[in-house]
Amino acid sequence: MSDLLDFISAMTCYQIETDKMRGKAAASLRRGDSEFRGPSLWERLGDPGAGETRNSTLHALSVEFRCGYDEIMELDGIMGGGLPEFVSTVVNTDSRALKVTFTDRFGLLGSYNRRAKLWAVAVAEAVGDARRVHLVSSNRHSMANLLSPWVAARIRDGCDMNHVRRLMEEPESARERLAADSEAGIETVPVPDDTPFCQTAKAGDSGMILNIDYAFGEEGFFLFNELCETLGERLGSVFILGKAGTLTGSRGDVMLPSYFVKQGTGDVYPVENCLSPGDFPGDFPFRVFTGGPMLTVDGTFMQNSDVLQYFRDNWKALGVEMEGIPYIRALAQAVLRGRIPSGLPTGVAYYASDAPLKGDTLSVPLGDAGVVPVYAATRAVLNRIGKLG
């Protein structure tokens, strides 16, 4: 559903923008620009030429679109040098002639269920007979890096995490790291194609950490639902570590919500968050926000400042994200079905990857500055797991 809503939103914007292009082309031809200046831009697009002639066409396109020439050149590069021809096709095709065909791999409900079941079977095999499993939804790197003996050795040698990450790009270092991690019990789970990456790590004598890469939207419900069915009372804790847009702070800040609110319906889903500001170091350079909800949206594409300001001002929302409610709903249903115990330790932490109300969007990467909050939140989770045993 998340994929579909974002797709529909994207196609709506595509329709709006292509109509604008057709309007500009029609206006240019009505003015008779070609009578005085030779072939108009819109007539040249089908055959933009090469070299300086082509660059001149792209420059004229940047003027027409009121954007920078560098942006047009970058877009043309992304499209494999086919931007002029693409625009030409748009302006010369009927505005309602667009046809979209979905493959059978698109995330429909039945497909979600099937893939989640296959994924859970693979995960169960990897977990084996571990008596206590700590489930973490986070990313591919921070959990494994903080548990890795190879990484720990480099840190002791004076390397910071950014340097360590660059070292791991070297083939020889990658092989050394893989062998050391495997010996320490950190393993990648062989899961079916098109399902989230997953890894395991030892936690104490009989425990195990099961770390899954970010799910996307409603996918999180199906994955957590199957894990609750599969692991049952062996599930020792659940932690959700993600990135989100902040509505109250700045990029890099951390948000620890006490509940989630769903955009559109206003439904609320409480969570007894076991993480607190005290789990972060005293010299943590960013702020930690608590005492409010996260806003869960179905898709990020069409969010606007009016909606976000409403939830910030009226609900005191800390930030905006996509997977929280599907996760919490799956856990709540598993408790009601008697699959997992009530009062299961649950921690939720998001770091701010962007601040949409400040115009600080995902189009500007957070880069190395994101390492500090991600690793601080991951360490907070690991410390909590360590206390749980």
| 3-class secondary-structure state, position 72 | helix
Same domain, yes or no, for 83 and 116?
no
11-24 per-position pLDDT tens digit: 888 888 888 888 88
Place of tokens 């989100």: 244
Other C-beta atoms lying within 10 Å of the C-beta of residue 155: 15
Which whole number is the average pLDDT over 135-156? 92
The pLDDT of 156-172, averaged and rounded, is 86
Name the token pair of 262. 């769903």
Range of the domain at 330: 109-148+184-388
171 is a domain residue? no
Nearest Cα neighbor of 238 from 216, 280, 271, 283 is: 271
The 10s digit of each residue's pLDDT in 224-280 is 999 999 999 999 999 999 999 999 999 999 999 999 999 888 999 999 999 999 999
Residue 384: predicted pLDDT: 95
Task: State the CATH number of the domain containing residue 260.
Answer: 3.40.50.1580
Q: State pLDDT tens for residues 68-111.
A: 899 999 999 999 988 988 888 888 887 777 777 776 656 555 56
Q: What is the pLDDT of residues 330-353, one digit of tens each?
A: 999 999 999 999 999 999 999 999
pLDDT computed for residue 42 by the predictor:
80
Judged by DSSP in three states, 157 sits in coil
pLDDT for position 215: 79
Query: pTM here?
Result: 0.80
Are 114 and 87 part of one and the same domain?
no
Residue 99, domain member (yes or no)? no
Structure-block tokens of residue 119: 């994924």
- The verdict on residue 155 lying in a domain is no
Q: How far apart are CA 82 and CA 47, in angstroms?
A: 11
Please count the structural domains in the chain.
Answer: 2
In-domain check, residue 160 = no
Q: Is 169 left (phi over 0), alpha (psi -120 to 50) or beta?
A: alpha
Q: Has residue 169 been placed in a domain?
A: no
Q: What angle do CA 137, 185, 162 make, to 5 degrees?
A: 60
pLDDT: which is higher, 369 or 385: 385
Q: What percent of the chain has pLDDT over 70?
A: 91
To the nearest whole number, what is the mean pLDDT of the chain? Answer: 87
Q: Which residues of 29-65 are buried (b: 16+ CB within 10 A; e: fewer)?
A: eeeebeeeeeebbbbbbeebeeeeebbebbebbbebb
Q: Give tens-digit pLDDT for 41-58.
A: 887 887 888 888 888 889
Same domain, 7 and 121: no
